[in-house]
Structure 1
């Protein structure tokens, strides 16, 4: 590890060792605490580090009895470390975006970082950043629903079980049966999809992955049964193979369609696939060709644009869209 990395990690460690006012710690005490954490440096190096930190951080130093004692201002929070204007703006955007997707309890766990970013921007003495809140917004693509409400303690308990790999006993409100059921679950992963968070888990000693919506979990506690990992499970493969996308078939399909100019413009900037092609036609439309998943999600996206996308292939998609149109017309008549 390079000298710069050593100094960085040592500085971060010292910030956790130095108490906040009115408490103080002597330089020798800080040095001893660093040695206990594995930092092999001299007392002189620690003193030099503290002197170098003072101009940049709210450090307070008292001198007396032949030794310096140190504390941090009560207003200090390590959430402000490393912040600059672009980073703060990025955090504000992330907060706005994630607040519409993640459960509130998950957003609250990192609220101090978001608050520090807002305070940083508010404190910048420059007219360039006045009114920043009215000039920075994050808008998710498509209609977003309010995140499903998760009972207190469920998110923390389930995420801890998934990360630390232990079995849990849950009471789950089954949507199919509309009544609570008790399960022994072996958590394999957590997925946030749109406005719902899911626990992917196996039940008892079975190998099938099942999806459990966190807002339907009524109670959860650690199980005394041994955790059973699912050999070969890969979350990315699970998702790509249609775990959440209502696959019609396991393989992809080639989408061919005639699209209006505004759709072609959109897709030229944000393509449907790596192999996408758009060719202009004489009537102002574009011929679109792209390899896409054979799933309901892609089909719903196409249907959302109505007559702006005229699907030619796959034939089953074209027939489905036309059938949907006939049903809509039937409702009107």
Structure 2
């Protein structure tokens, strides 16, 4: 013992061994050669912070994190995914250290539809530049690939990123627009070939929510009441079209649907394809 270390070396080793036994995914031991023979070097597997203790050895939480990671790809900004990487890794270490949890995880695989098209690939550098512009309120100069070639957009004001049917879009204001129809742009990020921040953004201060409504053809939330046939009711029971949706028996073979929706082109397509037999409820 010494004044700097009030306990013996063996005491510290036992404490470290106990920590490693309890948190194998967080504490790392490496054997090496010291001045007086072989020695052990101890460290944390991640210096970017560890999950709270209640999560470290909790297999249920580890499974939840692993499932969230599956669903997060292409749905979270790339910068967020990178910051979450240490937590995904800790969850995987917990699963690896507990075989029963690994077997349980195999029962929860959210697989895509076999007929679902391959997700559009976004260049990491492009997405990082767009995210930086959004955070730093920078203007963007972009080169967009189109069916007929390439278009260059100068000094766009980025408003937000939108994920629609697994395609990531950039919603932006175009200060150089000559008509109201060209003022708000919705650009597929995977079709942006070049992007650079181009100084501070100077636009009209358009509210992103209003811009989104304009770009997507959305209206303000509205209450809907319809009488639908059983087949349509079954479809809506499985896939609601709005918030606070309810379905109640109405007439023979009919159901009363009530919900709150925001009208857009996607909703209109669903209504046209699935609600032909529905009719509005008076009042």
What's the TM-score, normalizing by structure 2? 0.67
CA shift at 1:101, angstroms?
4.3
1:118-133 to structure 2, matched below 5 A, reads 118-124=92-98, 127=100, 129-133=101-105
Q: 2:110 aligns with which of 125, 138, 151?
A: 138
Counterpart-to-counterpart distance in 1, 2:48 and 2:89: 12
SS of residue paired to 1:149? coil
Cα pair 2:233 2:247 within 8 Å, conserved: no
Deviations for 1:43-71, whole angstroms, at most 9, x for unmatched residues?
Answer: xxxxxxx9xx96646388xxxxxxxxxx7
1:181–1:79 CA distance, 2 compared to 1 (3 A): same
1:276-291 to structure 2, matched below 5 A, reads 276-281=245-250, 283-291=252-260
1:201–1:281 CA distance, 2 compared to 1 (3 A): closer
1:215–1:266 CA distance, 2 compared to 1 (3 A): closer
Counterpart-to-counterpart distance in 2, 1:265 and 1:149: 31
CA shift at 1:94, angstroms?
1.1
Matched, 1:199 2:166: no
Give me the CA root mean square deviation: 4.5
Corresponding residue number in structure 1 for 2:280: 313
Deviations for 1:168-224, whole angstroms, at most 9, x for unmatched residues?
Answer: 22212245x53332422222222222222122222246693322221121112232x
Corresponding residue number in structure 2 for 1:300: 269
Gaps of 5+ in 2: 5-11, 20-25, 30-40
Corresponding residue number in structure 2 for 1:16: none
Gaps of 5+ in 1: 1-26, 28-49, 61-70, 315-333
SS of residue paired to 1:86? helix
Counterpart-to-counterpart distance in 2, 1:220 and 1:153: 8
CA shift at 1:300, angstroms?
3.0
Corresponding residue number in structure 2 for 1:7: none
Size of the aligned set, in residue pairs, is 251
Counterpart-to-counterpart distance in 2, 1:243 and 1:211: 7
SS of residue paired to 2:263? strand
What's the TM-score, normalizing by structure 1? 0.58
Q: 2:130 aligns with which of 127, 144, 158?
A: 158
Corresponding residue number in structure 2 for 1:221: 196
Corresponding residue number in structure 2 for 1:96: 70
CA shift at 1:226, angstroms?
3.2
1:145–1:253 CA distance, 2 compared to 1 (3 A): farther
